[in-house]
Structure 1
Amino acid sequence: MAPSAPFNPPSANLPGKPFVPTWVPPPVTQQKENFAELSSIDLSLLDSDDPAVVDKLVQQVKVAIRDDGFLFLENYGVSLEQLHRQFSIAQYLYHNISEEDKQRLLFDPETGVWSGYKHPYGFKRNRGPEDGIEQFNWYKPDWQDINRVPTCLHPFMDEIEEFANYLTKSVNRRLLTLFSRVLELPDDYLWNNVQSHGSPTGEGYFRHALFRPVQKKTQEASKGLRMHGHTDFGLTTLLFSVPISCLQIWGRDEQWYYVPYKPGALVINIGDTLEIVSGGHFKATRHRVYKPPVDQLNEERLSLVLFNSSVGDLRMGPASESPLIQREGCIEEQGVYKEFKNLTSQGKLVPTNKQWREIQISTATDPTDQVRNRVGADQVLIDGKVMHQREYMGVKVVLPV
């Protein structure tokens, strides 16, 4: 493929753009915690003229997404200065969004999407207990209508949209090229046949998020959880590494590990769709947001993330054209693919990507987060056995983990 071009954003100094205070990364923790050891992928090596270098990169990616499902991505075309500008804009949003816009653009999760503004009072439209998490999410309609965006961000939408475009059409496209090569398929197989298109984020979405410190009683009530353990339903998730240690992943040894900070890097994780398309060769790893170490408890965590989704009406299933899958078969011990196989073997229609997303809406809660018992947000204990509880095409089903 042609060498990639670096990100070239619109100017921050165009007439009519207000001054934006620079985001200053908070200090990293000095506490000794369990930190995950993730592979770091240099995306620029994909442009190498040496086939041996590219082949080594593909093999490195193959191991990382098979074993961890999470990896760091570096040298992907966005400079640290350009990235910090995007964090500065996100910080500006939460300091300047009006109460009128908060109400006018309030999210409605009952629709099945997270478009618009999320208040810091839980994940339902009606306010519940304070959780300290504010978000703004851009879906396809939000890119098309400036009135669906907070007024304070109108002068910066050229920068935000170009950033999302670059992440989707350059960074994620090159990442999918690597994944296609792991499956021994043509470079643009996943991009052309699985990735959704039609907006800067396709059928996925881009998010600004702010995790504010919570009161001690709130933290105790939630047992330190900010967002429960889950896998992402989509294709890939691109999350920018930040100094506040909150993101945790579930290890093979059944323990939670903090994801360490790597300045400027993207944290990549595999979504359910990609695990299914890969026939279980790629791993969608359970992750959660947990309270940070004690020396970061009073710090705000600002987050930027892109959720890439496959085509909504894509019929889910392994890529049968893959020589890797043809040669080695599917790997059914992986959690999500095993769940998919169990579900489809019950005689129901193979779900589309949109239907699979609906399956992921849990009918159980996670009040205890008993990780030793492997009980997650979508799991229940039945006669001592951990089971997934789902609703599929109007029917409640319980599946073994």
Structure 2
Amino acid sequence: MAPAAPFSPPAADLPGKPAVAAWVPPPATKETHNFAELQSIDLAQMDSEDPAVVDRLVQQVKHAIREDGFLFLENYGISLEQLHRQFALAQYLYKNITAEDKERLLFHPEDGVWSGYKHPFGFKRQKGVPDGFEQFNWYKPDWEDQANRVPTCLHPFMDEIEAFCRYLSESVNRRLLTLFSRVLELPDDYLWDNVQSHGSPTGEGYFRHALFRPVGQETRDASKGLRMHGHTDFGLTTLLFSVPISCLQIWGQDKEWHYVPYKPGALVINIGDTLEIVSGGHFRATRHRVYRPPSDQLHEERLSLVMFNSSQGDLPMEPALVSPLIQRDGCVEDQGIYKEYRKRTTVGAPPTNRQWREIQIATCTDPTDQEHNRIGVHQTIVDGQIMHQREYMGMKVLLPV
């Protein structure tokens, strides 16, 4: 395929743009225990003229997503300077968003949509226990009506933010889906053309500016250190930029939680439920959570940029049976959500991708919710391990706490 063009964003010093303070990455933890070892994928190798190099890359990706569902992505076309500019804009948002905009743009998660501003008081519109976690999410309507649906302080910078999201979607994620299509032995653009959503800079997915502020002991006790429950993402792929504050953890094959190490400039890629089902269970949806950082980072803020890539909403959740890999090896039916999907389809039609993501958003619970987060309600014990259990549209989801 043709070599990918590097990211070329709009200028930061155009007339009408206020000065934005640089984002200075906080210090990385000095602790070294309990960190995961993730494979790092050099996306630039896709441009190699040597077929052997490209084939090795495909095999490397195949191993990473079948074993872990998580990988690092490097050399994807965005420089460290360009990336830090985007972090600076996110930092600018949380220093300048007004109380009026917070109220005007307050999210309605009960409708099944992560759109607008999330207050630092839990995952419901009505404020609950403080969780110190703020976010602003761009969804399709927010791109279409930026004047009314985006914080006023960011209006001068929307050319940069939109260009950044389009590059992540149309260049980075498209190349990533090309690799995944090759693992499934399908044409390069199969997943991009037939599964990935389109129609906005993020399709039907989301772009997020997130800020985790330090929380007090009362909140840490109520949540048992969790900032977000152990979960899998509902979509295709998630592109999360590596940051120095170690809060993100993945569930390892040893059935333990491991921090994801900091790799400056790298993207952390995880696999969502949709891609696990599309792959017939050959790809493993990533079990991950956000947890308190190591002790030397407890009082630091964690700024985060995330792109959630979603499939077409009206598309039924089903495997790509045209895949030669699936035709030859069958489906992997003994893991994750694919096992539950197979049970569901024996008694009725599969849910659509929109139904699957919206029911999870609408029923999301808070780590501080002590009414539901206990044995016998949303938790159970399996082989001595406390598990979070939910059921969506007849499909049971069981994930480690």
Give TM-score scaled by structure 1 length.
Answer: 0.93
Aligned identity (percent) is 75
Whether contact under 8 Å (2:222, 2:368) holds in the other structure is no
Structure 2: any 5+ residue segments left out of the alignment?
A: 370-374
Structure-2 residue corresponding to 1:40: 40
Q: How does 1:153-302 map to 2 (within 5 A)?
A: 153-302=154-303
Structure-2 residue corresponding to 1:372: none
Cα distance in 1 between the residues matched to 2:173 and 2:113: 22
Q: For residue 217 of structure 1, report the CA deviation from its aligned partner.
A: 1.6
Label 1:13 to 1:353 Cα distance change in 2 as closer, same or farther (>3 A).
same
Cα distance in 2 between the residues matched to 1:229 and 1:2: 39
Q: For residue 33 of structure 1, report the CA deviation from its aligned partner.
A: 2.4
Label 1:249 to 1:203 Cα distance change in 2 as closer, same or farther (>3 A).
same
Cα distance in 1 between the residues matched to 2:342 and 2:49: 41
Whether contact under 8 Å (1:225, 1:289) holds in the other structure is yes
Of stretches 350-359 and 233-242 in structure 1, the one that deviates more from structure 2 is: 350-359
Cα distance in 1 between the residues matched to 2:397 and 2:212: 33
Label 1:271 to 1:364 Cα distance change in 2 as closer, same or farther (>3 A).
closer
Structure-2 residue corresponding to 1:68: 68
Cα shift readout 1:174-228 (whole Å, capped 9, x = no counterpart): 0000000000000000000000000000000100000000011211221100001
Cα distance in 2 between the residues matched to 1:268 and 1:333: 23
Cα distance in 2 between the residues matched to 1:366 and 1:119: 13
Structure 1: any 5+ residue segments left out of the alignment?
A: 370-374
Q: For 1:331, give the aligned amino acid.
A: V
Cα distance in 2 between the residues matched to 1:149 and 1:360: 24
Cα distance in 2 between the residues matched to 1:220 and 1:111: 30
Q: How does 1:299-338 map to 2 (within 5 A)?
A: 299-338=300-339
Q: For residue 348 of structure 1, report the CA deviation from its aligned partner.
A: 1.5
Structure-2 residue corresponding to 1:142: 142
Label 1:292 to 1:308 Cα distance change in 2 as closer, same or farther (>3 A).
same
Of stretches 44-53 and 381-390 in structure 1, the one that deviates more from structure 2 is: 381-390
Structure-2 residue corresponding to 1:104: 104
Cα distance in 2 between the residues matched to 1:376 and 1:295: 35
Q: For 2:252, give the aligned amino acid.
A: G
Cα distance in 2 between the residues matched to 1:211 and 1:250: 21
Q: Does 1:129 align with 2:129?
A: yes
Cα distance in 2 between the residues matched to 1:226 and 1:282: 26
Label 1:250 to 1:383 Cα distance change in 2 as closer, same or farther (>3 A).
closer
Cα distance in 1 between the residues matched to 2:364 and 2:234: 17
Q: For residue 334 of structure 1, report the CA deviation from its aligned partner.
A: 1.8
Q: For 2:217, give the aligned amino acid.
A: K
Structure-1 residue corresponding to 2:113: 113
Cα distance in 1 between the residues matched to 2:159 and 2:2: 26
Q: For residue 368 of structure 1, report the CA deviation from its aligned partner.
A: 9.9
Structure-2 residue corresponding to 1:20: 20
Cα distance in 2 between the residues matched to 1:397 and 1:43: 35
Cα shift readout 1:23-66 (whole Å, capped 9, x = no counterpart): 00000001232001000000000010000000000000000000
RMSD: 2.3
Whether contact under 8 Å (2:234, 2:274) holds in the other structure is yes
Label 1:383 to 1:216 Cα distance change in 2 as closer, same or farther (>3 A).
closer
Cα distance in 1 between the residues matched to 2:376 and 2:257: 12
Cα distance in 2 between the residues matched to 1:376 and 1:325: 38
Cα distance in 2 between the residues matched to 1:251 and 1:384: 17
Cα distance in 1 between the residues matched to 2:123 and 2:379: 19
Cα distance in 1 between the residues matched to 2:364 and 2:305: 28
Label 1:128 to 1:366 Cα distance change in 2 as closer, same or farther (>3 A).
closer
Of stretches 141-150 and 353-362 in structure 1, the one that deviates more from structure 2 is: 353-362
Give the paired residue count: 392
Label 1:77 to 1:397 Cα distance change in 2 as closer, same or farther (>3 A).
closer
Cα distance in 1 between the residues matched to 2:396 and 2:307: 31
Q: For 2:174, give the aligned amino acid.
A: R
Whether contact under 8 Å (1:46, 1:57) holds in the other structure is yes
Q: For 1:211, give the aligned amino acid.
A: F
Runs (4+) of structure 1 exceeding 4 A deviation are: 361-369, 375-379, 381-388, 396-401
Q: For residue 332 of structure 1, report the CA deviation from its aligned partner.
A: 1.0
Label 1:332 to 1:123 Cα distance change in 2 as closer, same or farther (>3 A).
same
Whether contact under 8 Å (1:178, 1:187) holds in the other structure is yes
Q: For residue 382 of structure 1, report the CA deviation from its aligned partner.
A: 8.9
